[in-house]
Chain A
């Protein structure tokens, strides 16, 4: 990825609607050609963010730079940015061909060039022969693909996609996720993909920005975000996690000893930034992913591991793995994933109401801040 001028830079962007701060002092950079995802629950400000980059909303403060050029207040028609809208926004009075040709005609492309490009793009998304159809005659997935090439045909420097697969059912969504990722790779255009679906973001994006309440909490690759969430919200929003609420007892380097009242004392690690802000006696949460925990019938002889006994409340056989819900002495239920590797495995026969030990390595438990550490 080129590191010189970022494809897009957003600096201290803020947008208010009445008393509500939809986007609150947000800054980030995206490299050219990157597949970037804005991920957050509804109302987190991600769509407003997208509309400001597309020029459909005017920011109250801050700036937007596209390849180094300031575009903060440029009207949408003057920006080298195109949008794929949430509900496709295909023009109902125009057929597929005229929908896709809409942008090029505004730019006064010669009609034979338009025909060539439209035909090629329709072929790319497997819609050859659909030229004369009207949007109402298309299925959701077909509308989505038309909306995509209508925005792509102008070869923008940046393509904004607002939950483009949100309205489709699972099978089509998964197929289109792959198709979109391939198309992005082929055309090499920078994508910003807004979604509330964490698995979609993890599947497709090079990097993800997790948003909540108008702020970006964390930016990173899917792996970074999953393995090293910076705070409680990110840990909870991306994948499943078990949270232990407790108090800091001891700090040794990045290792933190946490007292979980009525349950156990456990060791976890905090990020470098975070550990500097931690104080003895502070209330914090510790996150442990279900697949990082292990189960055993007999007390495991693993010195240094975090260890607690519980009772199997429920178990869900998922083929590849089994999900155990273990009730701990403080009545908290933790989720533990175990791979179904072998039938001789001692886990194979564990069943309801059996006492089991849950254990994990200290570095698998992350000490989390409520807010992102600064």
Chain B
């Protein structure tokens, strides 16, 4: 091990330490205090309890918001996958005029502040005369999830050798069978991973949702409004802990699937 203690090792070590503290500490604190038997989120420790978790079930407004977020995210994910895969196909396989505008659209959620996007969508919906509701939330989420899916799937399709499909045809597949037996299995991991991330983006979306939701409530909106009452804090901690764990699990799953699908040839940015 001694040989590893070079400046490079220490640089990596500090980087890792900073990352761990900045990113994981708040989560650890959040989860820790969700088991604290006190409404105030501070030391000293008042004793271990799971009652905040039990109280989640006693809050119909919270459960309703979770339910709303869930089905909104599911619809958004399904629609975004279909549109996003088609868009990815166009991006990765064809050259056409106006490609630059398309690329511009695809990059919106990655470069445009959510606030601006939210305002733009709000103006759009009110101008066109669409009543603000969970429906407009779905439309808004689709608008930024399609590019997410497109980017993830396109990067996979880009590495896809078109000769693989040709080889499948050559060995006796019709066009649909070639897609089913060769193209799809190879890009499926990217599609699944994109679906999981798209679900998370929609489920977590607060800023954009806040502008276009009207009188309805999704989970992030519920958290925002519940924060005004300090007695809600432990319940928020508890439910947030559950969400953090589930979402992190999903993200790691997505990355694992994506990497496995790439046959170990694709570098991961996560782990």
Contact of A93 (CB < 8 Å), options: B166, B171, B185, B264 = B185
Is there contact, CB below 8 Å, between B186 and A85?
A: no
Chain B contacts with A in 143-200, Cβ cutoff 8 A: 161, 163-164, 166-174, 177, 182, 185-186
Cβ-based interface call for B265 (8 A): yes
Which stretch, A75-83, A246-254, A276-284, touches the partner chain B?
Answer: A75-83
Asked whether, in the complex, the Cβ of A106 is within 8 Å of the Cβ of B173, the reply is yes
Q: Does A69 contact B (CB under 8 A)?
A: no
Residue A87 at the chain B interface, CB threshold 8 Å? yes
Contact B170 A83 (CB under 8 A): yes
Give the CA-CA distance A109 to B163 in the complex, in Å.
24
A89 touching B172 by the CB < 8 A rule?
A: no
Is B47 among interface residues, defined by CB-CB distance under 8 A? no
Contact A82 B171 (CB under 8 A): yes
Docked-complex contact A91 and B163, CB < 8 angstroms: no
- Categorize the interface residue count of chain B: 10 to 19
CB–CB A107/B172 < 8 A: yes
Q: Name which residue of chain A comes closest to B182, CB basis.
A: A91
Per the 8 Å Cβ criterion, residues 49-92 of A in contact with B are 54-56, 75-77, 81-83, 85-87, 89, 91-92
Q: Is the CB of A102 within 8 A of B264?
A: no
- Which chain B residues border A107 with CB–CB below 8 Å? 172
> Are the CB atoms of A85 and B173 closer together than 8 Å?
no
Residue of A nearest to B169 (CB): A76
Q: Which of A132-156 contact B (CB under 8 A)?
A: 134, 136, 150-151, 154
Q: A103 in the interface, Cβ–Cβ < 8 Å?
A: yes
For B170, list chain A residues within 8 Å (CB).
Answer: 54-56, 76-77, 81-83, 151
B263 A77 Cβ-Cβ under 8 A: no
Interface positions, chain A 236-284, Cβ under 8 Å from B, are: none
- Residue in contact with A91 in the complex, picked from B164, B169, B174, B177, CB distance below 8 Å: B164
Q: How many A-B residue pairs have CB under 8 A?
A: 64
- Who on chain B is nearest to A78 by CB? B172
State how many angstroms separate the Cβ of B9 from the closest Cβ of chain A. Answer: 30
Number of A residues near B (Cβ < 8 Å) is: 25
Question: Which B residues are in CB contact (< 8 Å) with A93?
Answer: 182, 185-186, 263
Task: Using A85-B166, A134-B263 as known contacts, say yes or no to A92 and B186 having CB atoms under 8 A apart.
Answer: yes
Chain A neighbourhood of B169, CB < 8 A: 55-56, 75-77
Residue of B nearest to A100 (CB): B171
In the assembled complex, the CB of B264 is this many whole angstroms from the nearest CB of chain A, namely 7
Q: Are B166 and A86 in contact (CB under 8 A)?
A: no
Chain A's closest residue to B171 (CB) is A103
Give CA–CA (A134, B171) in the complex, Å. Answer: 19
Known: A83-B167, A85-B166, A93-B185. A77 touches B265 (CB 8 A): no
By a CB distance below 8 angstroms, the chain A residues around B172 are 77, 103, 106-107, 154
- B166 and A89 form a contact (CB under 8 A): yes
Cβ B265 vs Cβ A136 within 8 A: yes
CB distance from A289 to the nearest CB of B (A): 38
- Which A residue's beta carbon lies closest to that of B262? A92
Q: How far is the CB of A101 from chain B (nearest CB, A)?
A: 10
- Complex Cα distance, B167 from A55, in Å, reads 11
Chain A neighbourhood of B263, CB < 8 A:
92-93, 134, 136
Q: How far is the CA of A76 from the CA of B167 in the complex (A)?
A: 9
Chain A residues whose CB sits within 8 angstroms of the CB of B186 once the complex forms: 91-93
Is there contact, CB below 8 Å, between A76 and B166? yes
B171 with A89: CB separation less than 8 A? no
| B187 vs chain A, min Cβ distance (A) | 10
Which 6 residue pairs spanning A and B have beta carbons closest together?
A106-B172, A103-B171, A89-B163, A89-B167, A76-B169, A85-B163
- In the complex, given contacts A82-B170, A91-B186, A150-B171, what are 17 additional A-B residue pairs having Cβ atoms less than 8 angstroms apart? A56-B170, A75-B174, A76-B169, A77-B170, A77-B172, A81-B170, A82-B171, A83-B167, A85-B166, A89-B164, A89-B166, A92-B263, A93-B185, A102-B168, A106-B172, A107-B172, A154-B171
**A contact set with B: CB distance below 8 Å:** 54-56, 75-77, 81-83, 85-87, 89, 91-93, 102-103, 106-107, 134, 136, 150-151, 154
Supply 17 A–B pairs (Cβ within 8 Å), ascending by A.
Answer: A54-B170, A77-B169, A77-B170, A77-B171, A77-B173, A77-B174, A83-B167, A85-B166, A89-B163, A89-B167, A91-B167, A93-B263, A103-B171, A106-B173, A106-B177, A151-B170, A154-B172
